[in-house]
Amino acid sequence: MSIATSKPLYSGKAKDIFETEDPNILRAYFRDSATAFNAQKKGEIHDKGKVNATISALLFQLLEQNGIKTHFIKQLSDRELLVKKVKIIPLEVIVRNIAAGSLCKRLGIKEGKFLKEPIVEFSYKNDALGDPLLTRKYITSALEITNNETIDYLISESLKINEIFKQFFLEIGIKVVDFKLEFGYDKDKNLILADELSPDNFRFWDAKTNEKLDKDRFREDLGNTEGAYQEMLKRVKEGTKQDHKFQASTLNSQSFKVRVQVLSKQDILDPQGQAVEKALKSLGFTEIKDVKIGKEIVFEIKNGSKDIAKSQVKEMCEKLLANPVIEDYKIEIN
Ligand code: 5GP
């Protein structure tokens, strides 16, 4: 396959995207330019393009080895990746393990606080508006970007990615503080991970010293930004020398107790409920109405997080535990 054409499709803050002869494949060229604070601060980080292209390639491969579908095809040169063309969902999916950045500013929390559970939040990918934080209803009802099912999928996929990264980076002495992901639809309408995975869109801290090894060095004028990027490249290269296949059971599993309550929908006839209602009334309990008899299913689930567990149980309800056409279900997870 030739990748010869040089028609730029799009020029971003740190990457140029080119078309190739295959309309479904793009070439991403990583530049050294750096921006921060919605492009109010601009500069260059020597060889950043090489570092980010290579770290991205290695991390996309790590994710693919662990069952995450991504747009990555191959690394073409030290600054270029070949990727599948996707239609990007205009959402920044941000995963946080430790308080930093805008979370600290917004909530007044001290930088470095370990969050009780990983947090997934969404921002609107819109520079003119400064990428504002979104609620679920903003996404589904105000902007109409996508639906609840897709939001659930993005949350559960991002938490899986977080578990893989937390484990991998711990092995190379790095704490994954937070990161930003972008997803898009490929030509077959599969929703896959896109964009890049690098110190530009992750916060990485040295596990022993808490030294910042990411774009915060540039944002906060801490100096030696180039050295920090090179250090991350060295460690990621070292760590990915051997294949990593993290079993679901090794991905920080926790046990949750699940209660699923299934009841027939309000307007669906429930003869058992009606019989009980009639009997109760004949015993003098005349105040009651709308008796429904349902079922309760109780079990334990082992999973990386409560949100992943919740989306799996939801899938179980839709596929087996309830009949969504005539029944409502309620999930309780503790
Ligand atoms: P915060 O919301 O604290 O500024 O950022 C959270 C995480 O997402 C950080 O790792 C940060 O690098 C990443 N992030 C947030 N917004 C952007 C963005 O517009 N571009 C890039 N490259 N990363 C972002």
> pLDDT at position 1, please?
43
Instruction: Give the mean model confidence (pLDDT) for residues 33-54.
Output: 96
Distance 219 CA to ligand 1 centre (A): 11
Asked if 33 and 44 count as a contact pair (C-beta separation under 8 A), the reply is yes
Q: Verify whether ligand 1 is closer than 6 Å to residue 180 (CB atom).
A: yes
Instruction: Give the mean model confidence (pLDDT) for residues 306-311.
Output: 80
Distance 168 CA to ligand 1 centre (A): 21
* pLDDT of 3 above 70: no
Type and span of the H or E element at 122: strand 114-124
Q: Verify whether ligand 1 is closer than 6 Å to residue 240 (CB atom).
A: no
> pLDDT at position 104, please?
98
* pLDDT of 258 above 60: yes
> pLDDT at position 248, please?
54
> pLDDT at position 25, please?
98
Q: What are 319-331's pLDDT values in tens digits?
A: 999 999 999 999 9
Domains of the chain: 8-84 (3.30.200.20), 87-246 (3.30.470.20), 253-333 (3.30.1280.10)
> pLDDT at position 308, please?
78
Q: Write out the two tokens for 139.
A: 């996404």
* pLDDT of 86 above 50: yes
The rounded percent of the chain whose pLDDT value lies above 70 is 96
Instruction: Give the mean model confidence (pLDDT) for residues 63-85.
Output: 97
Instruction: Give the mean model confidence (pLDDT) for residues 63-83.
Output: 97
* pLDDT of 2 above 50: no
Distance 100 CA to ligand 1 centre (A): 10
Q: Verify whether ligand 1 is closer than 6 Å to residue 97 (CB atom).
A: no
Find the distance separating the first CA and the last CA of the chain, reported in whole Å: 52
> pLDDT at position 237, please?
98
Q: What are 195-253's pLDDT values in tens digits?
A: 999 999 999 999 999 999 999 999 999 999 999 999 999 999 999 998 888 765 456 56
Higher-scoring residue by pLDDT: 266, 299 = 299
Q: What are 139-196's pLDDT values in tens digits?
A: 999 999 999 999 999 999 999 999 999 999 999 999 999 999 999 999 999 999 999 9
Q: Verify whether ligand 1 is closer than 6 Å to residue 48 (CB atom).
A: no
> pLDDT at position 250, please?
53
Q: Kindly indicate the confidence band of residue 264, based on its pLDDT and cuts at 50, 70 and 90.
A: very high
Which residue in 156, 161, 312, 173 sits closest to 251, CA to CA? 161
> pLDDT at position 61, please?
98
Q: Verify whether ligand 1 is closer than 6 Å to residue 201 (CB atom).
A: yes
> pLDDT at position 193, please?
98
Residue 240 one-letter amino acid: T
Token pair 């190379």: residue: 172
> pLDDT at position 312, please?
86
- For the chain, what is the total number of helices (H) and then of strands (E)? 8, 18
The structure's pTM equals 0.80
* Average pLDDT of every residue of the chain: 94
Please report the DSSP string for 147-201 in residue order: -HHHHHHHHHHHHHHHHHHHHHHHHTTEEEEEEEE-EEE-TT--EEE-S--STTT
Ligand 1, atom nearest to 94 Cα = 8
- How far, in Å, CA of 113 to CA of 90, rounded? 29
> pLDDT at position 266, please?
86
Burial class of residue 68 (count of CB atoms within 10 Å of its CB; 0-12, 13-18, 19+): middle
Distance 301 CA to ligand 1 centre (A): 32
> pLDDT at position 316, please?
93
Residue 29 one-letter amino acid: Y
Ligand 1, atom nearest to 216 Cα = 12
Q: For ligand 1, atom 12, which residue shows the shortest CA distance?
A: 201
